[in-house]
């Protein structure tokens, strides 16, 4: 057997700082422990452990089981730590270490991240966060109200007219539907210019501070250009789906001073991480990772809507938006997806006031006058605050 000798890489390259990932592992105790030991190798050296001699690689680079305990009748909780140097200061490589190859093995779920200060210091996180967004919108206390211009197939003028009426009715955040990108019926630049102008016009009439949020989810070469165009056109925020463009694109958008706008993250194509036994917890993917990658608000399906999240899973998202993560700001949960006005009391009870109500089709169903429907919604929320 060919043994990899003690490496000439000095141990002084490693600070000793480690970050931790809490995994839920399904199976018998023996199986789960073997899986935990396997994760230590799979997520780092991906090499037969018995072929690695004593020395720096074994001591520093291997993942390390920090704790292992029974969680319930069918699963165990294992906390595994990694040297911060393994992540190389890259969000892409951090994701790879957290779950890259282990995502392909069944019965392993990423439950929680404890990211060391030395690692977190390399990430700026949300530019605004809850506090900053409240200041920007001039709403110190009550929940924020959000809706989407749609459906796809409308012309830019029709979408802008909707944006105008939403803003006139008192909605705070008027975003593109996530399926609006650069279709022939509503090209990106024309749509963004018209919608931003429509919201400004409504603001002049109401004295409000509503913002239009442009969906800038786009091919690799276009995404930053669209974000800067949106900024120049007067959009008050951008929305991006990291499941489509990659988490690191969102990080770069959030950190880009030439954009400098609030970022909403959309869960498109991320569902497969949470619908099975494996994957990631709702708290990690929609909370902690969204924050790490700079989102100021995270959109996810509300419980009891047309998606399948439970109330407990939605609460888990909220925990991810506010759990201590160094100096990273807390962010807004933005539950949506088939919600209607009669859900407002129940949602306030579940989420508290630090939330963004995201209501789409439900606003159309309330009555024939869209502006009045918005006003009704706003008054209802203000009355409860």
Torsions phi, psi for 292 (to 5 deg) = -55, -35
Nearer to a second copy, 132 or 157 (CB): 157
Residue 117 Cα distances to 120, 123, 324, 334, angstroms: 5, 10, 11, 27
In whole angstroms, the minimum distance from the beta carbon of 81 to a second copy comes to 16
How far is residue 189's CA from residue 215's CA, in Å, rounded to a whole number? 11
Q: How many residues does the chain have?
A: 385
How far is residue 71's CA from residue 73's CA, in Å, rounded to a whole number? 7
Nearer to a second copy, 69 or 257 (CB): 257
In whole angstroms, the minimum distance from the beta carbon of 31 to a second copy comes to 13
In whole angstroms, the minimum distance from the beta carbon of 347 to a second copy comes to 18
Nearer to a second copy, 16 or 367 (CB): 367
Contact in structure between 385 and 357 (CB atoms under 8 Å): no
Nearer to a second copy, 133 or 261 (CB): 261
Residue 258 belongs to what H/E stretch?
A: none
In whole angstroms, the minimum distance from the beta carbon of 178 to a second copy comes to 7
Nearer to a second copy, 78 or 284 (CB): 284
In whole angstroms, the minimum distance from the beta carbon of 131 to a second copy comes to 27
How far is residue 362's CA from residue 350's CA, in Å, rounded to a whole number? 20
CA nearest to 23, candidates 116, 99, 105, 91: 99
Q: Could you tell me how many helices (H) and strands (E) the chain has, helices first? A: 17, 13
Contact in structure between 174 and 359 (CB atoms under 8 Å): no
CA nearest to 50, candidates 65, 33, 62: 62
In whole angstroms, the minimum distance from the beta carbon of 307 to a second copy comes to 5
Contact in structure between 27 and 44 (CB atoms under 8 Å): no
For residue 201, give every residue at least 6 positions away whose Cβ sits within 8 Å of its Cβ, in sequence order, or none.
Answer: 164
Strand partners, 154: 152
In whole angstroms, the minimum distance from the beta carbon of 133 to a second copy comes to 24
Pairing of strands 18-26, 108-114: antiparallel
Nearer to a second copy, 137 or 195 (CB): 195
Nearer to a second copy, 209 or 268 (CB): 268
User: Residue 298, Cα to own-chain centre: how many angstroms?
Assistant: 5
In whole angstroms, the minimum distance from the beta carbon of 120 to a second copy comes to 16
User: Residue 74, Cα to own-chain centre: how many angstroms?
Assistant: 29
Nearer to a second copy, 70 or 306 (CB): 306
Work out the angle at residue 61's Cα, subtended by the Cα atoms of residues 55 and 65, and round it to the nearest 5 degrees: 105
In whole angstroms, the minimum distance from the beta carbon of 116 to a second copy comes to 16
Torsions phi, psi for 148 (to 5 deg) = -125, 140
In whole angstroms, the minimum distance from the beta carbon of 228 to a second copy comes to 14
Q: Where are the alpha helices (DSSP H) in 237-326?
A: 242-245, 247-255, 272-275, 282, 289-292, 311-322
């Amino acid at each position: 057997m060919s043994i990899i000798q003690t490496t000439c890489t000095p141990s002084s390259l490693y600070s000793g700082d480690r970050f931790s990932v809490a995994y839920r592992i399904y199976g018998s105790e023996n199986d789960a422990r073997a899986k935990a030991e396997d994760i230590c190798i799979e997520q780092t050296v991906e090499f037969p452990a018995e072929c690695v001699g004593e020395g720096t690689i074994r001591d520093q680079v291997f993942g390390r089981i920090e704790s292992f305990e029974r969680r319930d009748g069918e699963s165990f909780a294992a906390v595994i730590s990694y040297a911060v140097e393994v992540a190389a200061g890259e969000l892409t490589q951090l994701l790879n270490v957290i779950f890259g190859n282990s995502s392909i093995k069944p019965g392993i779920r990423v439950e929680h991240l404890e990211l060391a200060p030395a690692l977190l210091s390399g990430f700026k996180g949300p530019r605004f966060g809850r506090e900053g967004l409240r200041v920007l919108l001039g709403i110190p206390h009550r929940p924020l109200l959000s809706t989407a211009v749609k459906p796809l197939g409308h012309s830019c003028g029709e979408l802008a007219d909707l944006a105008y009426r939403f803003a006139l009715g008192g909605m705070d955040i008027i975003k593109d539907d996530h399926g609006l990108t650069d279709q022939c019926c509503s090209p990106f630049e024309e749509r963004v210019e018209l919608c931003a102008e429509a919201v400004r016009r409504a603001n002049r009439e109401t004295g409000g501070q509503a913002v239009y949020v442009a969906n800038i989810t786009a091919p690799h070469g276009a995404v930053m250009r669209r974000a800067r165009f949106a900024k120049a056109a007067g959009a008050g925020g951008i929305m991006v789906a990291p499941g489509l463009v990659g988490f690191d694109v969102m990080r770069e958008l959030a950190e880009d001073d030439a954009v400098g706008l609030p970022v909403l993250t959309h869960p498109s194509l991320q569902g497969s991480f949470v619908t099975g036994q494996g994957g990631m917890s709702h708290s990690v993917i929609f909370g902690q990772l969204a924050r790490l990658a700079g989102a100021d608000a995270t959109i996810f399906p509300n419980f009891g809507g047309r998606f399948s999240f439970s109330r407990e899973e939605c609460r888990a998202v909220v925990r991810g938006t506010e759990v201590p993560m160094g100096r990273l700001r807390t962010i807004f949960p933005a539950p949506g997806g088939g919600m209607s006005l009669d859900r407002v009391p129940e949602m306030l009870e579940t989420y508290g006031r630090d939330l963004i109500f995201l209501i789409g089709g439900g606003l159309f169903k309330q009555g024939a006058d869209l502006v009045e429907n918005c006003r009704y919604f706003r008054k209802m929320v203000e009355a409860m605050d």
